[in-house]
Chains A and B, each alone.
Chain A
Amino acid sequence: MPEISGFAFPNDIHVTWSLMIVMYPYITGFVAGSFIVTSLYHLFGRQEFKPVARLAMATSFAFLLVASLPLQLHLGQPQRGPYVIITPNFTSAMAGFGILYSFYMLVLVLELWFVWRQEIIDRARRSRGFKRTFYATLALGTYDTSPEAVEIDHKAIMILAGIGLPAACMLHGYVGFIFGAIKANPWWSTPLMPVIFLLSAAVSGIALLIIIYQVFAKLDRRPVVATCVQALASWLWFFLILTITLEELELIVMAYEKSESWLIISELLTTRLSFSYVTMQMIVGGLIPFILLAVVVLMNRYLHEKVRNTLATVAAFLTLIQVFAMRWNIVIGGQLLSKSLRGLRSPYEPEIFGREGVLMAIALFVAPFVILWIFDRVLGIEEPEGGADHPPAAPTAGQAAAGHAP
Chain B
Amino acid sequence: MDHARHVFRIVLLVAIILAVVLLARGFLVPKSYGLYGRYRGASVAEQMNLRPPMHAGAAACADCHEDQAKKRTAGAHKNVSCEICHGPLGAHVKADGSVVKPPIDRSFTLCARCHRKIEGRPAKFPQVVLDQHVNGPVEGKVCLQCHDPHSPKP
Contacts and interface: CB of A to CB of B under 8 A. Distances in A.
Given A106-B14, A140-B13, A117 B6 contact: yes
Interface stretch (B20-28, B48-56, B90-98): B20-28
Interface residues of A, number: 22
A144 interface: yes
Nearest to A117: B6
B4 A152 contact: yes
A156 B7 CA distance: 9
Interface stretch (A83-91, A259-267, A362-370): A83-91
Contacts of B4: 149, 152
> Interface size bucket, B side?
10 to 19
B146 interface: no
A152 B7 contact: yes
Contact of A113 (B3, B10, B28, B38): B10
Given A91-B38, A113-B10, A146 B28 contact: no
A400 B134 CA distance: 106
A110 interface: yes
A144 B5 contact: yes
A141 interface: yes
- Looking at A85, A141, A142, A156, which has the most chain B CB atoms within 10 Å of its CB? A142
A110 B9 CA distance: 12
Interface in B104-133: none
Contacts of B25: 86-87
A146 B6 contact: no
Nearest to A402: B3
Contacts of A144: 3, 5-6
Given A86-B28, A106-B14, A152 B3 contact: yes
16 contacts: A83-B28, A86-B21, A87-B29, A91-B38, A110-B14, A113-B10, A117-B6, A139-B6, A141-B9, A142-B5, A146-B3, A148-B3, A149-B3, A152-B3, A152-B7, A156-B7
Interface of B: 3-7, 9-10, 13-14, 21, 24-25, 28-29, 38
